[in-house]
Structure 1
Amino acid sequence: MRALKWSIVLSTLLLTGCWSSYEINDRSFVTAMYVDKGKDGQMEITLSFPLPNRLVPGGIGGVGATGNPYTQVSSMGKTVTDAYHKMQLDLPREISWGHARIIVISEDMAKEGIGPILEFIVREPKLNINNAILIAPGKAKNIENLAAAFEQFPSEIVREFTQEKITLYTTPKDFLETENGDMIAGLLTKGKKKMLSEMGKEKLWVGTGGMAMFHNYKMVGKIDPKEGDGALWLRNSIKSTVVTIKSPTDKKDISLLVLRSKTKIRPSKNNPLTFDVYVTAEDDISESQSNIDVTNAKNIYQLERIAEKDITDRIEKAFKASKEVKADVFQFGAYLSWYKPKIWKKVKEDWPSVYHDKVKLNIHVDLKIKRPGAENNPIWIKEKS
């Protein structure tokens, strides 16, 4: 009976509330982290925060305020932890990582190595390892100064590039699953544009501009935007893209909109260091400046073969770019370890050199044009008829 009585008392004590937790009003929610190279071997960490007191428009309940509904705070340190703890000393709220969705790293920092950043991410239990990683030219923290014309927060615009698969959605988890830190990540571009939404003033515009290649967790090269499409195909990350080809009849442009695509990679049965890349794609004719008759099945067949060659060339260029820097960014070594583990054990120790010297691709693209669009042929041909 006494044991039961104490059990009831202890149960009651356990239900008395979250005495050690922080109230929401005492937290600062990180939406993005920007990492730049600092002075004297230090790194500069910049965190972006929403400002709750400015999220409600002025005039509603009298709590609104003018100015941006977000801010950023920077701090220098020898490590990420060192920098953000210094930052915490100057903030009135507790830093909370649970809402962070994007990590932008400057090219300079990426070239020096992102191992320390990944080390922090792995050990911080509240920071999601599925955050998107992007690389930026110049200062990464300047990305936060872009004109947020389409979203409430600048970081949300950058994140959407990965969500919509405009560029690669690469995460810390992707890097951590590699054997030697060979990976590929989206590369941002920056520039000034006069924007109507900003009353015609010049503002920072951020877009996508190819890919950044990593070897041993260090950025070792770039892939240009056209080759970047090939990288997306090799990573099976194409959501929607355009393939513009020349018509076989008059060499004028025809644009095909890729609606669906899938990539499968396997080591070849005849030579395990040669990989078979199978790409299937379904396209629509989005625009035609040619006089080619797209109601003719033979013409459609020709266009499909030309488009297949264009996609093959893009994949081949992306692959060659990675071989030049000995960076297996498309994880062919992983495919070899899965399907040919005995062979992988033999080449694992010298894989960068093996990848550079011996790995080849057999690219098989099967593209089908499903629909010619709302018009079978260009409108001027109908008008002439």
Structure 2
Amino acid sequence: MIRRSFIPVILLLCFLSALLTGCWDTKDINKRLMPVVMGVCKEKNQNYRIILQIPSPEQKGSQYMESSSATITNAIDNIRTKAEKSIDLLHIRLFLICEETAEKDIGDIIDYAIQANDISIKGLLAIAKGNFDEVIHHQLNANPELSSYDFFSEQAGWTPETTILRLWEAYRDIKSYTQDMSIPILTKGTDTLYNFEGSAIIRVDKMVGEISREEVLIDNIFHEKYTGGTIEVADQSSVMIKQAKIRHNTVWTASGPQIKSHIKLKVEILENKNSESEEKIATKLKETVEKRAHKLITQLKKEGADTLGIGQLFRKKMSDEQIKDWKQHWYLNLDHEVTVEVTILNSIYLKSPNKIKKPGK
């Protein structure tokens, strides 16, 4: 006969043993397929064509599975029905959208990715230019999934001439009255997995234009996503930008919004084959960056796309109605001035003749 004093202990042990059954529905990793890239392209019949790139150690590369349907969800379900293992979308690192679809509408694709419970909102976005199949099926080594991600990784192959945009950022910008976005454009690489061809200008949820790699650098400075990077100041000189900061001064006048953006650059001279003075190089760099910024701002206003997020800086100065009319009216009449200040740092890499003391001098 069990003593009454032992009953609470027995009940506690039964309760704890019940908790141990919480992992009954786990699946062995060998029974799962984990795609790292999802390609999305809308066909002429308006069906979504979905391609999943899955790492395959057995094939020393990647396995590709695809299907088409009227909805993205159904297309993925079709892939699941013919897969020999369970498909886990949580590890998708890159959404690659074909250019034709981006020019029409990407809003439903972003909505699907955000609302799906098994997709990480930290996934990256890119647009494939050219032959969609060649871009997404391109492989160079045994680990193409790592190359796809490292191309955008700030700890690996990323440079300031490359745009980084995540799913949650794209969803935020599509729903915003005062901000648009830019998405990196990729083509099939030759000696690398991809070639970066600049960025697509997205107005609300459609691609309306493109900006060059040089202009992407300015875009990253405005978004304070700048680290490192070189600029050719002239044919015979180049500098490394060590630090880039930007400050804005906004005013709302009777004629509309005005903004003055001041960029501070701290640079090191890498090459100076013509032995130009630091003052002259600083002046040339200032003129180069200001020219690029003016060109970018002019193009964005022409397309009516506020990818720099200038409207965000004016939100506190606008009424609800003015916020809603920002892109259609106020942004187009924006007076935007950009000035650049350059500071030349002591360059430990400088090897130009005017910095090397000759023997006996």
After TM superposition, the score normalised by the length of structure 1 is 0.81
Supply the RMSD in Å over aligned alpha carbons: 2.8
Query: What does residue 198 of structure 1 align with?
Result: none
Q: Is the 8 A contact 1:98 1:127 kept in 2?
A: yes
Query: What does residue 118 of structure 1 align with?
Result: 110
Q: Is the 8 A contact 2:61 2:144 kept in 1?
A: no
2:103 equivalent to 1:95: no
% of aligned pairs identical?
20
Question: Of 69, 94, 97, which residue of structure 1 is paired with 2:61?
Answer: 69
Question: Any unmatched runs of 5+ in structure 1?
Answer: 55-66, 196-203, 247-251, 293-298
Counterpart Cα distance in 1 of 2:107 and 2:90: 21
Q: How does 1:296-315 map to 2 (within 5 A)?
A: 299-315=277-293
2:166 equivalent to 1:171: yes
Question: Of 169, 184, 187, which residue of structure 1 is paired with 2:185?
Answer: 187
Q: Is the 8 A contact 2:39 2:52 kept in 1?
A: yes
2:151 equivalent to 1:144: no
Structure 1 residue 206 displacement after superposition: 1.9
Pick closer, same or farther for the CA change 1:360–1:25 going to 2, 3 Å.
same
2:316 equivalent to 1:348: no
Query: What does residue 222 of structure 2 align with?
Result: 234
Q: Is the 8 A contact 1:46 1:141 kept in 2?
A: no
Question: Of 250, 257, 265, which residue of structure 2 is paired with 1:267?
Answer: 250
Pick closer, same or farther for the CA change 1:121–1:265 going to 2, 3 Å.
farther
Counterpart Cα distance in 1 of 2:183 and 2:72: 21
Pick closer, same or farther for the CA change 1:158–1:361 going to 2, 3 Å.
farther
Query: What does residue 336 of structure 1 align with?
Result: 314
Q: Aligned partner of 2:184: which letter?
A: G
Structure 1 residue 280 displacement after superposition: 2.0
2:354 equivalent to 1:364: no
Once the two structures are superposed, what CA deviation does each residue of 1:152-211 show, in whole Å capped at 9, x if it has no partner?
Answer: 4334323223223431111111122221572111111335x4x6xxxxxxxx85211111
Query: What does residue 126 of structure 2 align with?
Result: 134
Counterpart Cα distance in 2 of 1:147 and 1:30: 15
Q: Aligned partner of 2:163: which letter?
A: L
Q: Is the 8 A contact 1:291 1:381 kept in 2?
A: no
Counterpart Cα distance in 2 of 1:16 and 1:159: 36
- How many pairs align? 346
Query: What does residue 258 of structure 1 align with?
Result: 241
After TM superposition, the score normalised by the length of structure 2 is 0.86
Query: What does residue 63 of structure 1 align with?
Result: none
Counterpart Cα distance in 2 of 1:239 and 1:109: 32
Counterpart Cα distance in 1 of 2:337 and 2:319: 19
Question: Of 41, 53, 64, which residue of structure 2 is paired with 1:48?
Answer: 53
Pick closer, same or farther for the CA change 1:183–1:20 going to 2, 3 Å.
same
Structure 1 residue 113 displacement after superposition: 1.1
Once the two structures are superposed, what CA deviation does each residue of 1:292-315 show, in whole Å capped at 9, x if it has no partner?
Answer: 2xxxxxx32232122112111112
Counterpart Cα distance in 2 of 1:147 and 1:10: 52
Q: Secondary structure at the match of 2:328?
A: helix
Counterpart Cα distance in 2 of 1:162 and 1:275: 31
Q: Is the 8 A contact 2:98 2:132 kept in 1?
A: yes
Q: Aligned partner of 2:187: which letter?
A: T
Q: Secondary structure at the match of 2:82?
A: coil
Q: Secondary structure at the match of 2:135?
A: helix
Structure 1 residue 4 displacement after superposition: 7.4
Query: What does residue 160 of structure 1 align with?
Result: 150
Q: Is the 8 A contact 1:240 1:257 kept in 2?
A: yes
Query: What does residue 206 of structure 1 align with?
Result: 194
2:72 equivalent to 1:80: yes
Q: Is the 8 A contact 1:110 1:219 kept in 2?
A: yes
Counterpart Cα distance in 2 of 1:214 and 1:125: 26
Question: Of 206, 213, 222, which residue of structure 2 is paired with 1:218?
Answer: 206
Counterpart Cα distance in 1 of 2:247 and 2:41: 36
Counterpart Cα distance in 1 of 2:298 and 2:320: 24
